[in-house]
């Protein structure tokens, strides 16, 4: 039902500059990943706000924030800047790839949760589905960059572990909140990741 992923693909095709100064095999993936991340960045806050709006008070209260909520199997995007800056390209990409892999899985979980809690909220459900597809898309782009950089790609991990069926409604709401929030944070970080690579490899 989601037609939006087509547009970033188109966008990336259009925006991809043909630069002679860098290997074609590296420029394209970086640009694609960067552009997609940039596009995703525009929608992340909308997704988070839409999500919270459907969860009722206090989630839907203006300015709601609960940074203390974390998910053990979803790596947080927050990282000390110098630590992040000091990471090697491969390691940085590896973390991003792992995060978006986990995010894509979690977004599927959140979609299912919301189909139970808010079955008639088609706006939210379609945004979640779109976000999941974009996360998968960005993950693929990162893998392309890693391939181009020659970074070895480990097998994708099952970050969710055993099916978390027993979660209460409140846990599911919180889980969704953390996922959509981290999706935004990780997208921001991916933009920075890709900008760094772009500066480095694409002239």
Partner 1 sequence: MEVYFYLRLLLKRGENKRMRNSSKFQWLSSVIFLYLVNQAHGQKRGVPHDLKCITHNLKIWDCSWEASYRINHGTTYEVCIVNSSYSCIQTEKTHFEIPALSLADHEIKISSTHVSGNSVTKFILSERNVSLVPATLQILNLTADFSTSTLYLKWNDNGSAFPHHSNVIWEIIVLYKEDMEVATVATFNTTLMGKDSVHHWNWTSDIPLECTAHHVKIRYYIDELHFFGQKEWSEWIPLRISGSPIKESYEVFPRDKVVPVGSNMMFCCVVEETVLTAQYGSEKCSLIPLDNKSVGIKINNITISPSSGTNVVFTTRSNLYGTVVFAGYPPDIPKKLNCETRDLKEIICSWNPGRPTGLVGPRDTNYILYERFSGRNVTYKRDEEHMNENHQLIFQMISGQERYNFTLKASNPLGGSEAVILVDITQRVYPHTPSKLNVKGINSTAIFLEWHLSGNFANINLFCEIEINSAYSGQELRNITVKGLETSSYHVSVDKLIPYTMYTFRVRCSSEKFWKWSKWSNEKQYLTMEGIPSKGPDIWREWSADGKSVIIYWKPLPFNEANGKILSYDVSYGLEEETQYLSEIPDPHHKAEIKLDRNDYNDYIISVVAKNSVGSSPPSKITSLEIPNEDLKMEQVVGIGNGILFHWNYDLNMTCDYVIKWCNSTRSEPCLIDWKKFPANSTGALIEYDNFQSGTRYNFFLYGCKNQKYQLLRSIVGYTEELAPNVAPNFTVEDTSADSILVKWEDIPVEDLRGFLRGYLFYFEKGEKGTSKIQGLESETRRSDVKVKNITDITQKTLRIVDLQGKTGYHLLLQAYTDGGVGPGKAMYVVTKENSEGLIIAILIPVAVAIFVGVVTSILCYRKREWIKETFYPDIPNPENSKALQFHKSVCEGSSALKTLEMNPCTPNNVEVVETRSAAPKIEEDTEIKSPVAVVPEEGSDAEPENHVVVSYCPPIIEEEIANAGGEEAGGSSQVIYIDIQSMYQPQAKPEEELENNSVGGAGYKPQMHLPVTSTVENIIVADDLEKTAGYRPQANVNAWNLDSPDSPRSIDSNSEVVSFGSPCSINSRQFLIPPKDEESPKSSNGGWSFTNFFQNKPND
**Site map 91..130 versus partner 1, x via CB under 8 A:** -----------------------xxxxxxxx---------
Q: Is residue 174 within the footprint of partner 1 (CB under 8 A)?
A: yes
Q: What angle do CA 185, 199, 16 make, to 5 degrees?
A: 85
Which CB atom, from 52 or from 142, has the smaller least distance to partner 1? 52
Please, what's the b/e burial string for 95-130 (b: 16 or more CB within 10 A of its CB; e: otherwise)?
Answer: bbbbbbbbbbbbbbbbbebbeebbeebeebbebbbb
Burial class (CB in 10 A: 0-12, 13-18, 19+), 30: buried
CA distances from 162 to 4, 81, 166 (A): 31, 33, 11
Pick one of 24, 153, 157, 169: the residue that binds partner 1 (CB under 8 A): 169
- Cβ at position 71, least distance to partner 1 in Å: 13
> What tokens were used for 161?
């572990």
CB-wise, 57 or 152, nearer to partner 1? 57
Taking the complex as a whole, how short is the minimal distance between the CB of residue 63 and partner 1, in angstroms? Answer: 13
With binding defined as CB under 8 A, does residue 177 bind partner 1? Answer: no
Query: Could you say whether residue 203 binds partner 1 (CB under 8 A)?
Result: no
Site residues (vs partner 1, CB under 8 A): 54-59, 61, 66, 68-69, 114-121, 166, 168-170, 173-174
């Amino acid at each position: 039902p989601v037609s939006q992923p087509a547009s970033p693909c188109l966008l990336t095709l259009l925006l991809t500059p043909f630069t002679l100064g860098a290997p074609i095999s590296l420029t394209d993936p970086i640009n694609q990943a960067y552009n997609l991340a940039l596009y995703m960045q525009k929608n992340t806050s909308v997704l988070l706000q839409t999500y919270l709006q459907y969860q009722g008070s206090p989630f839907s209260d203006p300015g709601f924030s609960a940074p203390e909520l974390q998910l053990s199997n979803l790596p947080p995007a927050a990282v000390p800047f110098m630590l992040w800056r000091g990471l090697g390209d491969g390691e940085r990409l590896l973390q991003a790839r792992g995060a978006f892999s986990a995010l894509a899985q979690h977004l599927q979980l959140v979609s299912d949760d919301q189909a139970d809690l808010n079955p008639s909220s088609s706006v939210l459900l379609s945004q979640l589905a779109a976000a999941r597809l974009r996360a998968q898309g960005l993950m693929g782009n990162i893998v392309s960059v890693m391939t181009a950089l020659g970074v070895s790609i480990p097998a994708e991990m099952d970050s969710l572990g055993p099916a978390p069926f027993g979660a209460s409604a409140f846990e599911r709401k919180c889980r969704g909140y953390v996922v959509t929030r981290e999706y935004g944070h990780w997208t921001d970080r991916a933009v920075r990741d890709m900008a760094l690579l772009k500066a480095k490899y694409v002239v």
